Structure 1
Amino acid sequence: MTQLISTNPATGDTVWDGPEATAAEVAAAVERGRAAFPDWADRPRQDRIDAVKRYQAALKARAPEIAAAISRETGKAPWETTAELGAMQGKVDISIRAYDERTGERTADTAFGRATLRHRPHGVAAVLGPFNFPGHLPNGHIVPALLAGDTVVFKPSEEAPLTGQLMAECLAEADLPEGVFNLVQGGRDTGAALLDQPIDALMFTGSGAAGAHFRKKFADDPRIILALELGGNNPLVVWDAADAEAVAGIIVQSAFVTTGQRCSCARRLILPFGQRGNDVLEAVIALIDRLRFAPYDSDPEPYAGPLISVRAADQALAAAQHRIDRGALPIVAPRRIDGLSDAFVSPAIIQTTDVLVEDEEIFAPFLMVSRAHSFDEAINEANATRYGLSAGLVSDDPKNWDRFIRRIRAGVVNFNRPTTGAAGDMPFGGLGASGNHRPSAYYAADYCAYPVASFEADAVKSIEGEIKGLR
């Protein structure tokens, strides 16, 4: 039996270890979910609401413990993991409201009978979690799925199994019926085994490459609902903004928060040629020098911590160097941070104007900068990506925003705010290689149940009067 080990990326210390689920154990988990589905789906909706409310209470009671576990497992600063636990608790109330608003049931009387809309759950939902928000992001699939009446088989990221275990414990404290929620731990082989089972839905947050694989795998199986929230090569355009220091704060929080490990982080900064663009770059460089990257338990508290692993840091540095080798200019060179583990990398700024670089995100605090001669050129450059998750505009001119919001291709588009900002009661997702037009967050209710439209009458009555052309 293969052993799974999770380590603190800041120290290399073991955080969690345990056996990976075998293919047989994965199959058994899906069978448990299948057996539990009819009863769970048929229960009064209030029963399911009460269950997720109990889960919410368990999260609240154990919030400090789980936040500390996420910090140890991912290296994220406590201010971030505390906020993550708050978002997980808030997701319950938001999901209840979203289900009522976006799905639920409603009836209207017509001249021919009663028209009724209902929603039914799909069945067994496989949820694959990411490492960057190992609690919040899978929680955003699990809670709406349970409310809809689906049963769940959850495989956490192999980089964050402890977080998954603690979530499972909270769901156990919620006294869910046997088989409604099932946890399987493991890496790629465990995930592949899960997707080979007769699941009814796949809910995934992760890389664009993995999402493309899932699209191909299930292309000939229309039974399975796919909800894919993927990465992005996200643009941030700065145009006609006078306060360079204020702009710099928005850029830094867009590009470097969570050590660049958010799918909505700005990867490409588009500036005007000339002094105004130069002023913005100088302000960003000055602010970067003030950012504290350190282990999560450092005093004072850091801005951000390491990447998820030394391997991730190696890959990010290699990707950045490849761009430099192709002619990109390092304004702030990508590097490891002296005196810390090799998983730590410092923020970097790389000039790519007139350099052909790959349309791929680097999941690290590395920002590619290019210049444009006009606002239209800047929008065209922003749209020059196969992704479409997030985008942003920083400008003093509201007319620029009116043009930008109409022309940009992305699912999350912010104005004078970081690209990473997103409200829990709004949809979150993208198009192109960033998703499959099934946004999560408030719109998760849409993919957790399917609509059933009915035309109903309370008694059997003749409808000969409706049949035209009778003899």
Structure 2
Amino acid sequence: MNNGVYIDGKWRSGKGAAFAKHCPATGETSWEGVAADAADVAAAVASCRAAFAVWARTPVAERIAILERYADEIGKRAAPIAEAISRDMGKALWDAQGEAATMKAKIAVSIAAMKERAGEREEAAAFGQSRLVHRPHGVMAVFGPFNFPGHLPNGHIVPALLAGNTCVFKPSELAPSVAALMADAFEAAGLPPGCLNIVQGGRETGAALIDQPINGLAFTGSASTGVFFHKHFAGRPEVMLALEMGGNNPLIIWDPVDVDAAADIAAQSAYLTTGQRCSCARRVILPEGAFGDAVVDAIAARAGGLRIGAWNEPDIFMGPLVSNHAADQAVRFHEMLLAKGGRSILPLAAGEQGGGFVTPGIVDVTNATGVPDEELFGPLVQIYRTKTFEGALTVANNTKYGLSGGLVSDDDALWETAFSEMRAGILNRNRPTVGASGAMPFGGPGLSGNFRPGAYYAADYCAWPQASQLSSKAARMSAPGFPA
């Protein structure tokens, strides 16, 4: 029974409340089990603590070998991983297959990052030598999100294990199925029992986990939850926090540029994975006038022509939102924008299929007042029109977030200005805001994180540096005024 608590390499039912996940496309039960309660969570952390003593001292080469075997095991399970992701959260199967492939590719990238950013170095010195090494924190709590329930927690767990940490993984209760496949792959790769423990559940399970004596927390999710974690650990600098919290991301489109190419980039930025990527463009900023009108019309044409369906239907671009509740929230957000003076160009509405399905939406909020600086996790884009490029930059930066952004323009001078002034951790030119490289850092300022970017830079927060000065023999010290 692999649907509750995984401790010391064994699954058992949790002792908390029973819960189930239903596919938002079909309504079928995709997962059901019993959540971990506080005692289960304490046992998982204790197991990690016991395993840490040995795992941290395991030679790096052995840890790397186990993780490389894990990559092979993930590859063998790519098809069931993709199906588990799609059934839980509704993601189109081709999109979930890409996520499964990224999970496998993450291992080689993480190994390279560890060697480059958290390796060892020795230098000769007059007294002997100086040495730099990196040490693991201890027990890391990893909170997984629902939108990339395999790739994103994998992006924390793999570098953490490589560094010598042990991990307690709490998957999102909205996408719990892939965790068992990950555990199976780690077990087949030879990861020692206790190095990775899993606790399924919702808010109560998460609350129990952050109350345990953990050494670090790696989180991907909403700003409200990330801020809650930040406050919870206030005054405890000994606990490492790595928080990635999304964004209200701007995409500026400015003449000269091909209208159709710009619309393609904007539509993919806004609607990929049904808008459930933290790097999706939420705000598209355009000049007033005929060029801007043409781009808006072209985006609307693409949005209206997107193929929407269940995860296992052929040739769909996007599926439903993760749940009926998420669909209701998206519809209400669209209605809120209209109530504040927004003009609906393409309404976001409940889909004919029911469940989590919604239609992609576009709202012009140029003349709206009181529009909240919030991230709606769904296929809705807000249009802003400005008279000048300087005004567009002002709108782009008018957010408390700072994850991703972009400029679509063929003008090199405009790009140089945007590159200097736009405040975003991921800043692209003539490319979608989504689809970041795993070989680069992923994160941003403001409420998008706490300056511990993930992806390639995860190696930085999974270990701490230790600097040493070494001499083989004790020698007499001297200094002005020091007795001989």
Partner residue in 1 for 2:391: 377
Partner residue in 2 for 1:176: 191
RMSD: 1.1
Q: Deviations over 1:409-452 (max 9, x none)?
A: 11111100000021110000111111000000000000000001
CA distance in 1, matches of 2:137, 2:443: 21
Query: For structure 1, which segment, 160-169 or 219-228, has the greater mean C-alpha deviation from structure 2 after superposition?
Result: 160-169
Partner residue in 2 for 1:140: 155
- Residues 251 and 418 in structure 1, CA contact (< 8 A), matched pair in contact too: yes
Runs (4+) of structure 1 exceeding 3 A deviation are 466-471
Partner residue in 1 for 2:4: none
Partner residue in 2 for 1:445: 459
Number of residue pairs the alignment of both structures matches: 468
Structure-to-structure mapping, 1:275-314, within 5 angstroms: 275-298=290-313, 300-314=314-328
Q: Secondary structure at the match of 1:301?
A: coil
The alpha-carbon deviation at position 57 of structure 1 amounts to 1.2
CA distance in 2, matches of 1:467, 1:244: 73
The alpha-carbon deviation at position 110 of structure 1 amounts to 2.3
Structure-to-structure mapping, 1:267-282, within 5 angstroms: 267-282=282-297
The alpha-carbon deviation at position 289 of structure 1 amounts to 2.4
CA distance in 1, matches of 2:53, 2:473: 28
Q: Secondary structure at the match of 1:379?
A: helix
CA distance in 1, matches of 2:312, 2:268: 21
Query: For structure 1, which segment, 213-222 or 166-175, has the greater mean C-alpha deviation from structure 2 after superposition?
Result: 166-175
**Counterpart residue type for residue 62 of structure 1:** R
CA distance in 2, matches of 1:119, 1:385: 36
Q: Secondary structure at the match of 1:256?
A: helix
CA distance in 2, matches of 1:407, 1:112: 48
CA distance in 2, matches of 1:272, 1:211: 35
Q: Deviations over 1:86-144 (max 9, x none)?
A: 10000000000000000110011123431111100000000000000000000000000
2:368 equivalent to 1:352: no
Q: Secondary structure at the match of 2:111?
A: helix
- Residues 330 and 348 in structure 2, CA contact (< 8 A), matched pair in contact too: no
- Residues 257 and 408 in structure 2, CA contact (< 8 A), matched pair in contact too: no
The alpha-carbon deviation at position 72 of structure 1 amounts to 1.0
The alpha-carbon deviation at position 279 of structure 1 amounts to 0.7
- Residues 341 and 367 in structure 2, CA contact (< 8 A), matched pair in contact too: no
CA distance in 2, matches of 1:273, 1:327: 18
Q: Secondary structure at the match of 2:56?
A: helix
TM-score w.r.t. the length of structure 2 is 0.95
2:381 equivalent to 1:367: yes
CA distance in 1, matches of 2:361, 2:293: 16
- Residues 140 and 441 in structure 1, CA contact (< 8 A), matched pair in contact too: yes
Gaps of at least 5 residues in structure 1 are none
The alpha-carbon deviation at position 220 of structure 1 amounts to 1.2
The alpha-carbon deviation at position 47 of structure 1 amounts to 1.1
Partner residue in 2 for 1:22: 37
Structure-to-structure mapping, 1:35-54, within 5 angstroms: 35-54=50-69
Q: 1:342 aligns with which of 330, 334, 355?
A: 355
2:87 equivalent to 1:72: yes
The alpha-carbon deviation at position 469 of structure 1 amounts to 4.5
The alpha-carbon deviation at position 342 of structure 1 amounts to 2.9
CA distance in 2, matches of 1:231, 1:106: 35
Gaps of at least 5 residues in structure 2 are 1-15
Partner residue in 1 for 2:269: 254
Q: Deviations over 1:289-328 (max 9, x none)?
A: 2210100111x32001000000001111111211111111
**Counterpart residue type for residue 344 of structure 1:** F
Q: Deviations over 1:233-255 (max 9, x none)?
A: 00000112331111000000100
The alpha-carbon deviation at position 468 of structure 1 amounts to 4.8
2:466 equivalent to 1:418: no
The alpha-carbon deviation at position 459 of structure 1 amounts to 1.7
